[in-house]
């Protein structure tokens, strides 16, 4: 019997972790509200189907990916297309659904809708498609690894750490991982400020900052990167460096980091921004490396670690185990 697992990617906060499950990603059209019912679960846009029981339960001696491709070609596609037609006929509507298998993954970490990472084994393409060796092609959607706001240092390191999770999976040694992160933190602290800063565009500076001349006054719901830009402008306005540096304004791109301000460490209020390539070393506050490293690397990594059922690594880079 085939082992189907359909997930409702609209509502789940943490969909799950498919370990060596040979996961199909069946892509549905995005232009309209295309849905279908599978085991009483409403599925939108994409569904994931695992076939590990099939791979383990037969005497297929060749590449398991070839077996899945044949199952799709000779069984699944025809079955679902007939099911579409039956459903449309039963409701007196025209069938506009179109099934396309997009990828096959060896392992998948699905955090929520449009936030996931796949260790691809195959993807649709010309001819028989494109085949990948383990960890050769990591597909990441909606997570820090592929977000332009993530510091360059963090994007590169998170990719390496994710590959390690895909290799070791639930056998991941958290203590060794914490020791590795300690070394990475040292490199993080020695890297160029541009490589460890987050980045974002400023769209409506005036909607977030009420005053940046004598004191910083933020308006309700001011985004963090706008607040960081406002603190830069405050320090510049009250300094002797106004002829050397420019004020940050709407339309600019800003880099920013968690900073040590007035002897207070940590917290969302303590952020400082600057224009790319124009770091004001004369008046910029010190980087809060503990918070910056935790927000940019430890927190994103823990989302993957917790998704596979392991306890998170603390910001102090220790592993806390539960006694009960």
186-224, pLDDT tens digit by residue? 999 999 999 999 999 999 999 999 999 999 999 999 999
167 and 311 inside one domain: yes
20 pLDDT tier (thresholds 50, 70, 90): low
Contact 54, 3 (CB under 8 A): yes
- Domain closes at, from 142, 167, 184: 142
Residue 272, domain extent = 146-324
159 pLDDT tier (thresholds 50, 70, 90): very high
27 and 87 inside one domain: yes
Six-digit token string for 234: 């405050």
SS3 117: strand
123 and 259 inside one domain: no
Measure the CA–CA gap between 282 and 113, rounded to whole angstroms. Answer: 44
36 and 123 inside one domain: yes
CA 306 to mean position of chain CA atoms: 14
What pTM was computed for the model? 0.82
24 and 71 inside one domain: yes
Q: Does 288 fall in a domain?
A: yes
197 and 234 inside one domain: yes
Measure the CA–CA gap between 230 and 208, rounded to whole angstroms. Answer: 9
pLDDT, tens digit (0-9, with 9 covering 90-100), for 70-86: 888 888 888 888 888 89
Mean pLDDT taken over the chain: 83
**Confidence (pLDDT) at 61:** 84
177 and 115 inside one domain: no
CA atoms within 13 A on the CB side of 165: 28
261 and 131 inside one domain: no
């Amino acid at each position: 019997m085939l082992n189907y697992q359909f997930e409702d990617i609209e509502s789940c906060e943490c969909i799950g972790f498919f370990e060596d499950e040979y996961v199909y990603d069946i892509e549905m059209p995005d232009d309209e509200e295309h849905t279908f019912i599978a085991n009483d679960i409403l599925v939108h846009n994409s569904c994931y189907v695992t076939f590990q029981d099939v791979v383990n339960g037969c005497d297929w001696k060749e590449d398991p990916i070839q077996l899945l491709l044949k199952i799709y070609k000779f069984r699944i596609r025809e079955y679902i297309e007939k099911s579409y037609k039956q459903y449309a006929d039963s409701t007196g509507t025209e069938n506009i659904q179109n099934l396309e298998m997009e990828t096959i993954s060896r392992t998948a970490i699905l955090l929520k809708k449009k936030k996931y990472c796949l260790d691809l084994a195959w993807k649709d393409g010309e001819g028989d498609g494109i085949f990948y060796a383990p960890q050769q092609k990591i597909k990441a959607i909606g997570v820090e690894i592929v977000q332009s706001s993530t510091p360059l240092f963090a994007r590169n390191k998170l990719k390496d750490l994710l590959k390690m999770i895909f290799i070791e999976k639930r056998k991941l040694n958290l203590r060794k991982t914490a020791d590795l992160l300690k070394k990475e933190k040292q490199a993080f602290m020695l890297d160029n400020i541009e490589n460890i800063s987050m980045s974002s565009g400023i769209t409506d500076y005036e909607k977030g900052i009420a005053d940046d001349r004598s004191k910083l006054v933020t308006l309700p719901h001011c985004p963090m990167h706008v607040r960081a830009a406002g603190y830069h402008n405050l320090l510049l306005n009250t300094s002797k460096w106004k002829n050397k540096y420019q004020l940050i304004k709407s339309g600019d791109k800003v880099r920013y980091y968690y900073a040590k301000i007035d002897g207070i460490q940590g917290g969302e209020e303590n952020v400082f921004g600057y224009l790319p390539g124009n770091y004001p070393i004369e008046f910029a506050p010190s980087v809060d490396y503990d918070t910056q490293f935790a927000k940019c690397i430890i927190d994103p990594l823990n989302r993957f670690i917790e998704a596979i059922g392991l306890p998170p690594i603390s910001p102090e880079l220790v592993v806390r185990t539960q006694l009960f």
